[in-house]
Amino acid sequence: MKKKKICVISSSRAEYGILKELIIKLKSSKKFKTKVLVTGSHLVPKYGSTVKNIKNDKIQIDYKIRIKLNKNDKFSIIKDMSNYLINFSKVFKKINPDLILVTGDRYEILCAAIVANILRIRLAHIHGGETTLGSYDNGSRNAITKLSFIHFVSTSKYKAKVIQMGESPKKVFNVGSLSVENLIKIKKKDNFLKNIMNFNFNKKRILISYHSLTINIKKGRKDFNELLTCLKQVKNTSIVFSYPNHDVDSDYIIAKMNEFVKKNKNAKLFKFVGQENYYQLLKNFDCIIGNSSSGIIEAPSAKIPTINIGERQEGRIMSKSVFNVKAKNVFNTLKKIYKLKNEKKINFTNPYQKKNTAKKIIKELNKIKFNEIYK
C-alpha cells in the first residue's frame, strides 16, 4: 500500500513545541511518509536558532526555507510574506505532498496555506476556531481555517465556531491541545533550576512571557512599561523573561526586556530554553505573567496561575486560574495569587486538556481518501 505523503511545517519555537510528539509519531508510522519543513525564526540567531532543538530531538529536517527577516515594522513583515509565498511554492512543488499539516496563526503559516490552496494540496489545521482579539493573528487564523481541508480543534466551543464558519462537521474534530498533552507527560524535576538554568534563583519565582499587541502598538507598549514598573516593586523574587515572537514591534519589547535585566540582578532573559525546559519553568515557578497563549492553554495543567494582561488573548476560553488584569494592577494581583495559592483556593481545571490528542489526529489523517478529487 502506497504511503501517504505528509509535509509538517514549523516556523517558530511555539509551533514546534506543539507539534513535536505528533511529528515523532508520524515519522515512525508505516502508513505515512512524513517530511518536516522548517522556516521562520527557527533559522534566525536573534531568536535563538531554535532549529538546533529539533536536531537535538533527532528529528530529521527534510527542507529549510531560510528567509532573511527584515525589520519588524508592518511593511517589512509584508515583504517577508512575499518571500515566503515564493519559497513555499518552490518547495511544495518539489515535495508534491498529499497533505500539509500546520498549526496556529503565524503569518508564515498563512503564506503556506495560500500556496497550498492555489496548488490544490489538502491542508490540515490545528488550533483553528480560537479567538485573540488583540492580535492580527486572529484574522490569519480564520483565513487558514477557510483554506483548510480538515480541522483539529482544542475545545467543543472552537469546533462549533469552525462549523459556523462553513466548514463540514465531518471534517472538524475536537481533540484537545497537543501542547498540553506534551506537558503532562513531563515529570517535574526539583533540581531543574540549579542544574539547567545556571542562575541563582530565589525561593519566589515568576515567569514573564509578553508579546506585541499588534493591533494597537501604542497600547501594547504602555501595558508593557506599566508591567515593568510593577516588577520593580517585586522583592526577593527571581524574574525570568522569555523572548517574544518575531512580530510588528517585537524589537521594542526585546530592548525593554534587556534594559530591565541590566538594571535588576534578580532578572534574566532567555531567547529560548527548549520546550521541555520551558515546561519545567512552568512547573517550578509561582506564576506566569504577560499575554502569551501558554499562560492560557498550558499553564493550568502545570498548576501555575496566570496573570493575563491586556487584549491580546481576549476571546479565548480561559481556566479559572487565569486572572485578567490591567498592567498597572499586576503587583497587587500577584500578592493576591500568593495568598490564594497558600490557601489552595485556585482552580486549575483546564478546558484544553484531553487524552490521546496525537493519536486522534493520526487516526483521522489515516481515514482521508487522497485518491478522491479535492473540492
Nearest-angstrom CA–CA distance, 367 and 370: 9
Identify any residues that bridge with 5 across adjacent strands, giving them in sequence order.
33
21/57 same-domain check: yes
What are 254-283's pLDDT values in tens digits? 999 999 999 999 999 988 777 888 899 999
In a domain, 8, yes or no: yes
Those residues with Cβ within 8 angstroms of residue 48's Cβ, 6 or more apart along the chain or in another chain: 13, 243, 271, 272
What are 294-349's pLDDT values in tens digits? 999 999 999 999 999 999 999 999 999 999 999 999 999 999 999 999 999 999 99
Nearest-angstrom CA–CA distance, 105 and 144: 7
114/240 same-domain check: no
134/209 same-domain check: no
Strands of 32-39's sheet in order across: 63-65, 32-39, 4-10, 99-103, 122-126, 150-153, 172-174
pLDDT at 156: 97
Nearest-angstrom CA–CA distance, 253 and 312: 14
pLDDT at 264: 94
Nearest-angstrom CA–CA distance, 305 and 338: 10
150/192 same-domain check: no
In a domain, 182, yes or no: no
- What's the CATH number where 246 sits? 3.40.50.2000
86/154 same-domain check: yes
225/254 same-domain check: yes
252/123 same-domain check: no
In a domain, 181, yes or no: no
238/260 same-domain check: yes
18/66 same-domain check: yes
In a domain, 321, yes or no: yes
pLDDT at 295: 97
146/35 same-domain check: yes
131/37 same-domain check: yes
pLDDT at 225: 97
CA atoms within 13 A on the CB side of 2: 8
In a domain, 48, yes or no: yes
Whose grid coordinates read 493520526? 362
pLDDT at 195: 66
% the chain with pLDDT above 90: 76
**Cβ-count burial of 28 within 10 angstroms (0-12 exposed, 13-18 middle, 19+ buried)?**
exposed
Whose grid coordinates read 530592548? 255
Q: How many domains does the chain have?
A: 2
CA atoms within 13 A on the CB side of 364: 20
In a domain, 372, yes or no: no
Q: Which residues of the chain have pLDDT under 50?
A: none
In a domain, 347, yes or no: no
45/166 same-domain check: yes
**Residues 226, 242, 103: CA angle, nearest 5 degrees:** 110
Per-state percent for the chain, helix, strand, coil, to nearest 5: 45, 15, 35
Range of the domain at 74: 4-176+354-367
In a domain, 349, yes or no: no
Average pLDDT of the chain to the nearest whole number: 92
The grid cell for 138 is: 486572529
pLDDT at 49: 80
92 contacts 65 by C-beta, under 8 angstroms: no
Q: Cα separations (Å) of 174 from 32, 102, 155, 158, 361?
A: 22, 16, 6, 8, 10
Q: How many CB atoms lie within 10 A of CB 326?
A: 12
